[in-house]
Structure 1
Amino acid sequence: MTQALHQLDISLLKGVGPKMRAKLHDYGIRSIQDVLFHLPLRYQDRTRITPIGALQLGQDVVIEGKVVAADIAFGRRRSLVCRLQDGTGTTTLRFFHFSAAQKQQLVAGTRLRCFGEPRRGAAGLEFYHPEYKLLAGDDPVAVEERLTPIYPSTEGLQQTSWRKLADQALGYLEQHPVAEWLPPQVLPGRWTLAEALRYLHHPPTDASLYQLQEGQHPSQQRLAFEELLAHNLALQQLRNETRRFGAPALDGPNDLNQQFLAQLPFPLTGAQQRVSEEIAADLASQTPMLRLVQGDVGSGKTVVAALAALRGISSGFQVAIMAPTEILAEQHYHSFCGWLEPLGLSVAWLSGKLKGKARNAQSELIASGEAHIAVGTHALFQNDVEFARLGLVIIDEQHRFGVHQRLSLKQKASIEVGQPHQLIMTATPIPRTLAMTAYADLDTSIIDELPPGRTPVTTVVLDNARRDQIAERLNAVCAKGQQAYWVCTLIEESDKLQAQAAEASWAQLKETLPNLNIGLVHGRMKPKEKAEVMAAFKAAELDLLVATTVIEVGVDVPNASLMIIENAERLGLAQLHQLRGRVGRGSQQSFCVLLYQAPLSRNGRQRLSALRDSNDGFVIAEQDLQLRGPGEVLGTRQTGLMSFRIADLQRDEDLLDGVKDAAEWLLKQRPEHAKPLIERWLSDRTLYASV
């Protein structure tokens, strides 16, 4: 029986000894199929020779000529300089790193073929360290017959090695055909998988270099479709696995919800009502709810979460509410205590900083079932935390947690209870492309309406050199009885360095603005100290709050109308938008000042301009996706969740609807095709396999 390509070890390929095999294994290449799916990043056109007289800046070219002079030049850096002539013109080859053997080779009269990019030099156009080979005699030598692929690589693996491996792997396709798991019913276009792989490793001379570089060639689109489909199927499998065990129907009486709504000082918006009804319908089912609620900053997601929690409690179950940071978790804890304790309900608190007897007491409340709700950070899913009857898990700012962390809370439910329902909330609007890929295992609701009375925040971008003017503006705002934030940012993630930066700014501002009451909050303060400062700011006892980005989420002070963010160019768009959402919560005109340190990079300028020009979280999220990529936007850069070999979420957005339809069709008509497709594209990821 013929072995499948994925079963053939790379050691079968010529030139792959133990050392090379180990390097390839470290890089995730284990089988001959892996080599075929290790696709080129880009291509070079070495199929034609360009006359030296026709050279243009910025274009990779092949040139051919005779060395007419070769000398060592002693300038700022010692270099070997060769003058090359072909009858149409003369150019210079310059080597800063060269050997004695090279110097002996590159002598007058030697005929060379070179490949590289000409740059402007002291004596006209020059090539720095071009690839070259010596040509014997004057007879013409054939050029490359196809475009030259450039592969993604790692230290110790040269491009020539990758090309030799790919050439050999393509030879195996004849005897060991690659399995075609996409039937004609879902396959877009006419390209088979084998045809697409051959084309991409060996593009012919007439291939469109532009199409290939842009990822728009039909062969690339064929593979991108399959890769996106594999990701979608993996998440659908995860969803089906989660739902296989069933869940408790949370359809208890509505009394608690009505009491809660009666005590709120404001009516729900239409969007809050709609999303609450969608959640209630899910909770009433014995299939586990898997719902993502998106809502821009200030849209009222926490109230919607409270209504969902009360559904669980009125049905006799416990609810866990998890947030990624201490300050956000504390904010939720205080909110839920204020809302639910008047209804006779008990709220427990767990965080990493809670130790000893205090932690044991809270854990006991949760384990005994006395606590109706447990609010906390990642401490909630640690092994020693047990729930009596966990029926609903609410996770805020899910993109800050790994998928493993989100799903590990579901294991806290006992077997007789079934899977807990899951409600995921985010104030970072997720672009459609990411929602259809990274969150394909979740149903989505959007709170697309802000409470009445909110005024849009005006954003201005200023050079750090204008700090004195900002101080004057601060004085004027606080003199009118309004409050302000001053946010300090650092590139380093160190709490200690962040705290030092905040303390320095706080001391400087106290000196500059002696008439203002200025508070300070940062991640290294004790929870009690932070809570006291935040309470003082909320009570308007402080005019200005100097803080690190710990105040990004969860702080609601309607009287704050001005925010200054130092070094704003260092933060991502989503984080800047979250920070800006701390102002504009009252009826007065609010401002956000983005201070930057000149000179600004092009990317930094684009990000700050995008924020200045829009208050729409979804528009900003799309911009963030384009500028930073999906891995960073989701906070999953290290997990491998959204790293694609060939697909690109912006470029291939038009494929996503077809991918979704194909996934549904395959799971119904050819469910046995799902596993091999997932293994082909995600074989080295443990993400989906173990959650």
Structure 2
Amino acid sequence: MSSLNAPVTELKGVGEALAIKLERLGIAQISDLLFHLPLRYQDRTRITPIASLRSGDEAVVEGKIAAAEVVQGRRRSLLIRLSDTSSVISLRFFYFSPAQQQQFQPGTQVRAFGEARAGATGLEIYHPEYRLISDSTLPVEDHLTPIYPTTAGLHQSRLRALIDQAFERLDANPEALPEWLPERLRQRFALPELHGCLRALHYPPPETDPEHLAAGQHPATRRLALEELLAHQLSLREVRLRIQQDGAPALPDGRNLQARFLTQLPFSLTGAQRRVLDELRLDLATAYPMLRLVQGDVGSGKTVVAAMAALSAIAGDCQAAIMAPTEILAEQHYRSFRAWFEPLGIDVAWLSGKLKGKQRLDTKAAIQDGRARMVVGTHALFQSDVHFQRLGLAIIDEQHRFGVHQRLALREKGEAGGLTPHQLVMTATPIPRTLAMSAYADLDVSVIDELPPGRTPVKTVAMPDERRPEITERIRSACADGRQAYWVCTLIEESEALQCQAAEATRDELADALPELNIGLVHGRMKPAEKADVMGAFKEGELDLLVATTVIEVGVDVPNASLMIIENPERLGLSQLHQLRGRVGRGSIASFCVLLYHPPLSQHAKRRLSVMRETNDGFRIAEEDLAIRGPGEVLGTRQTGLAHMKIADLERDADLLSRVTPLADALLAQHPQASQPLIRRWLGKEASRYGQV
């Protein structure tokens, strides 16, 4: 009997055309059929008396044909009257052949399955699945009938027959699908064995609750979901191990340079910043690459921590680079690092997609020959034509905007010098601990959980949009006092074009209502240079009011802005609202955020807005966001190593995440040889992608 790893074309009846359809479902090998789980189930395990049927019931009925005729209504149909000892039901076919019509002779015994619905003749079943039977002792199904995800031209019955063939092979050779979780571990984590789980999900016994199965709550589904989450975490840990096998520059702490830097700052570091810096110093002093995620709430001072780490690299005769996801944020970093580093005699280079011609060539040359010790940029930093002389530290800001592979591409930039750079990853979107441990299993995690002194918490209010005139007056009064304000227009139907139109219309309305103010506009369809000019004018105080889309969500720092209006906040997640609110309250003046919603609000929206009113704590907001929206949305799953799940669902299986890390620890300690095969089983082609990073 050939292996379950053989291509599906080895199964009876699978030619090239069918193989292409199966490929669309992610089924290439015979074993893939075993992991192609049903969406839902039908109960065909008992015959239901016709009299007990209600409209909407799916059931198997059996009886004798009392009458059969073609009826002319709005549509011509074949109508069969089927009676058992309790009552009569109609089977109606709108598509039928003369041969089919001949089959249905009065007195013939028929067993049929379908959904009973109220029709012209009472209860009717449209286009039932049926068979003519000569023997009423013919057994019914002995398990619930699975309904699988399928594709055009591939019928359920065909898919079931192929899965039956896969199970025949498994039964003939159980070793072909190894159980990689040893029994001791399964007992400790209360996990049923693999073959039994697969059988229970494809052929559930009649007493199984189909809703429990379909909701993914059956112990068999949970076991498979946990194994899949485990495989993803193991793959990320493997990435970490591979990177840490490479040599990295052991960097000095650069205390002299850091002390000179700190004397320039108009503030002292917080206890949390100092604690995280100590963790970074220990990592950077080792001769293998640091891989650390620093989480810090909006305004907690992550950039200063990044600058201190960069000075360690520069003191160690290396270069440091910081990459940001948007031109606006990257330019802001460039201005900050220049102001901080140039007085220390350190050249800071700027590289983005919009840098062209001679300027770009000069910047690339300065990066390559090492004159630029500090490099700031966007995605442009990891383009193939950018070469560093000796990159010792790669800093990635707003990690959730970059994928695992984009972030690892920067690592290659240091390898020309024979060393792998240390990596510092930062995010202002706090991620609940269990989630961070699973999604970022390749990173150590540090938290800056303290705001600098002198920050006044932003006061948040929610108001219905019919009170717009009041808000307009509030802007007039704040700007008359020399303050500045933001007005944020949120997403409309996921369309950037409509979003920009809405922002333009809002700017025009506000310009009519507030003719004495200078009003700027920033949206996603503007050229980066235009956006930067408007943001620069706002930062310099030349504009009183900035109307913007959510492009200003991350990192823009204008301490004089004290009022933020967010229109239709019910369209956004909590973490995004918190990010936007973080654009104000960056100085010592009292700041306000107005959530201008459109009633009526859903229960979810009410809960979100009330959380925003109650707290400014980003970590509490992250926990609430997780509870309301689920992990997939909070993480931006595509960007993590947890994308492309076959069975696990981050939302449904969130409670399993806390079990993944201890299970991975135990497996690697007791049964390390199982790690690779588990990764291959669940990640398939993806596994090799992780292997190459």
Deviates more, 1:297-306 or 1:519-528: 519-528
Name the structure 2 match of 1:322: 323
- Pick aligned residue for 1:132 from 129, 133, 153: 129
Residue 383 of structure 1 aligns to a residue whose secondary structure is coil
2:322 and 2:91 map into 1 onto residues whose CA distance is: 65
- Pick aligned residue for 2:169 from 169, 172, 189: 172
Residue 413 of structure 1 aligns to a residue whose secondary structure is helix
Residue 566 in structure 1 maps to residue 564 in structure 2: no
For the 8 Å contact 2:439–2:641, the answer to whether it is kept is: no
1:126 and 1:482 map into 2 onto residues whose CA distance is: 71
Residues 590 and 252 of structure 1, relative CA distance in 2, 3 Å threshold:
closer
2:603 and 2:55 map into 1 onto residues whose CA distance is: 22
Instruction: List per-residue Cα deviations over 1:424-465 (Å, max 9, x = no partner).
Output: 111112233431222111101111222234444444455545
Task: After TM superposition, give the deviation of residue 592 of structure 1 in Å.
Answer: 3.0
- Pick aligned residue for 1:43 from 21, 41, 44: 41
Name the structure 2 match of 1:183: 182
Task: After TM superposition, give the deviation of residue 299 of structure 1 in Å.
Answer: 1.6
Where in structure 2 are the equivalents of 1:369-388 lying within 5 Å? 369-388=370-389
1:245 and 1:232 map into 2 onto residues whose CA distance is: 21
Residue 153 in structure 1 maps to residue 146 in structure 2: no
Task: After TM superposition, give the deviation of residue 211 of structure 1 in Å.
Answer: 3.9
Name the structure 2 match of 1:444: 445
Name the structure 1 match of 2:672: 671
Residues 340 and 138 of structure 1, relative CA distance in 2, 3 Å threshold:
same
For the 8 Å contact 1:400–1:634, the answer to whether it is kept is: no
1:49 and 1:476 map into 2 onto residues whose CA distance is: 76
Task: After TM superposition, give the deviation of residue 606 of structure 1 in Å.
Answer: 6.0
Residue 424 of structure 1 aligns to a residue whose secondary structure is strand
Name the structure 1 match of 2:205: 204
Deviates more, 1:447-456 or 1:342-351: 447-456
2:503 and 2:68 map into 1 onto residues whose CA distance is: 61
- Pick aligned residue for 1:689 from 678, 688, 691: 691
Task: After TM superposition, give the deviation of residue 542 of structure 1 in Å.
Answer: 2.6
Name the structure 1 match of 2:25: 27
Residues 321 and 492 of structure 1, relative CA distance in 2, 3 Å threshold:
farther
Residue 251 of structure 1 aligns to a residue whose secondary structure is coil
Name the structure 1 match of 2:539: 538
Where in structure 2 are the equivalents of 1:578-657 lying within 5 Å? 578-596=579-597, 611=612, 614-625=615-626, 628-637=629-638, 641-657=642-658
Instruction: List per-residue Cα deviations over 1:334-377 (Å, max 9, x = no partner).
Output: 11112222222111101111111111111111111111111010
Residues 677 and 275 of structure 1, relative CA distance in 2, 3 Å threshold:
same
Residue 231 of structure 1 aligns to a residue whose secondary structure is helix
2:304 and 2:619 map into 1 onto residues whose CA distance is: 21
Q: CA RMSD in A?
A: 3.4
For the 8 Å contact 1:478–1:484, the answer to whether it is kept is: yes
For the 8 Å contact 1:5–1:176, the answer to whether it is kept is: no
Task: After TM superposition, give the deviation of residue 670 of structure 1 in Å.
Answer: 3.4
Instruction: List per-residue Cα deviations over 1:22-74 (Å, max 9, x = no partner).
Output: 22123321111111111223333332344555556776544556788985654
Residues 531 and 41 of structure 1, relative CA distance in 2, 3 Å threshold:
same
Task: After TM superposition, give the deviation of residue 493 of structure 1 in Å.
Answer: 6.5
2:492 and 2:381 map into 1 onto residues whose CA distance is: 29
For the 8 Å contact 1:438–1:642, the answer to whether it is kept is: no
Deviates more, 1:388-397 or 1:212-221: 212-221
Deviates more, 1:286-295 or 1:47-56: 47-56
For the 8 Å contact 2:4–2:166, the answer to whether it is kept is: no
Instruction: List per-residue Cα deviations over 1:302-330 (Å, max 9, x = no partner).
Output: 11111111111111111010011111111
Q: Where do 5+ consecutive residues of structure 2 fail to align?
A: none
Residue 282 of structure 1 aligns to a residue whose secondary structure is helix
Letter in 2 for 1:688: Y
Residues 72 and 344 of structure 1, relative CA distance in 2, 3 Å threshold:
farther
Q: Where do 5+ consecutive residues of structure 1 fail to align?
A: none
Residue 341 in structure 1 maps to residue 342 in structure 2: yes
Instruction: List per-residue Cα deviations over 1:378-434 (Å, max 9, x = no partner).
Output: 000001101111000000111111221100110011354411000011111223343
Deviates more, 1:13-22 or 1:188-197: 188-197
Name the structure 1 match of 2:16: 18
Letter in 2 for 1:15: G
For the 8 Å contact 2:38–2:146, the answer to whether it is kept is: yes
Name the structure 2 match of 1:289: 290
Residue 689 of structure 1 aligns to a residue whose secondary structure is helix
Residues 5 and 512 of structure 1, relative CA distance in 2, 3 Å threshold:
same
Deviates more, 1:179-188 or 1:357-366: 179-188
- Pick aligned residue for 2:7 from 1, 5, 9: 9
Name the structure 2 match of 1:485: 486
Letter in 2 for 1:21: A
Report the TM-score, using the length of structure 1 for normalisation: 0.89
Deviates more, 1:384-393 or 1:627-636: 627-636
Report the TM-score, using the length of structure 2 for normalisation: 0.88
Residues 497 and 107 of structure 1, relative CA distance in 2, 3 Å threshold:
farther
Deviates more, 1:179-188 or 1:56-65: 56-65
Task: After TM superposition, give the deviation of residue 533 of structure 1 in Å.
Answer: 2.8
2:55 and 2:297 map into 1 onto residues whose CA distance is: 47
2:249 and 2:600 map into 1 onto residues whose CA distance is: 57
Name the structure 2 match of 1:237: 238
Residues 446 and 156 of structure 1, relative CA distance in 2, 3 Å threshold:
farther
For the 8 Å contact 1:189–1:218, the answer to whether it is kept is: no
Instruction: List per-residue Cα deviations over 1:483-531 (Å, max 9, x = no partner).
Output: 3211123347776654443222211210122232212223444555434
2:607 and 2:99 map into 1 onto residues whose CA distance is: 46
Name the structure 2 match of 1:420: 421
For the 8 Å contact 1:271–1:449, the answer to whether it is kept is: yes
1:602 and 1:100 map into 2 onto residues whose CA distance is: 52
1:142 and 1:511 map into 2 onto residues whose CA distance is: 78
Deviates more, 1:263-272 or 1:624-633: 624-633
Task: After TM superposition, give the deviation of residue 621 of structure 1 in Å.
Answer: 3.2
Deviates more, 1:345-354 or 1:250-259: 250-259
Where in structure 2 are the equivalents of 1:457-536 lying within 5 Å? 457-491=458-492, 498-536=499-537
2:10 and 2:543 map into 1 onto residues whose CA distance is: 72
1:514 and 1:500 map into 2 onto residues whose CA distance is: 21
Residue 564 of structure 2 aligns to a residue whose secondary structure is strand
For the 8 Å contact 2:434–2:658, the answer to whether it is kept is: no
Deviates more, 1:377-386 or 1:679-688: 679-688
Task: After TM superposition, give the deviation of residue 159 of structure 1 in Å.
Answer: 2.1
Residue 688 of structure 1 aligns to a residue whose secondary structure is helix
Deviates more, 1:102-111 or 1:595-604: 102-111
Residues 3 and 670 of structure 1, relative CA distance in 2, 3 Å threshold:
farther
Name the structure 1 match of 2:250: 249
Deviates more, 1:280-289 or 1:81-90: 81-90
2:83 and 2:461 map into 1 onto residues whose CA distance is: 56
Residues 560 and 218 of structure 1, relative CA distance in 2, 3 Å threshold:
same
How many residue pairs get aligned? The number is 685
For the 8 Å contact 1:556–1:582, the answer to whether it is kept is: yes
Letter in 2 for 1:408: A
1:684 and 1:581 map into 2 onto residues whose CA distance is: 41
Instruction: List per-residue Cα deviations over 1:272-307 (Å, max 9, x = no partner).
Output: 111111111111111200001111222211111111
Identity of paired residues, percent? 60
1:590 and 1:67 map into 2 onto residues whose CA distance is: 80
Residue 199 of structure 1 aligns to a residue whose secondary structure is helix
Where in structure 2 are the equivalents of 1:54-133 lying within 5 Å? 54-55=52-53, 60-63=58-61, 73-74=73-74, 98=95, 104=101, 115=113, 131-133=128-130
2:212 and 2:541 map into 1 onto residues whose CA distance is: 59
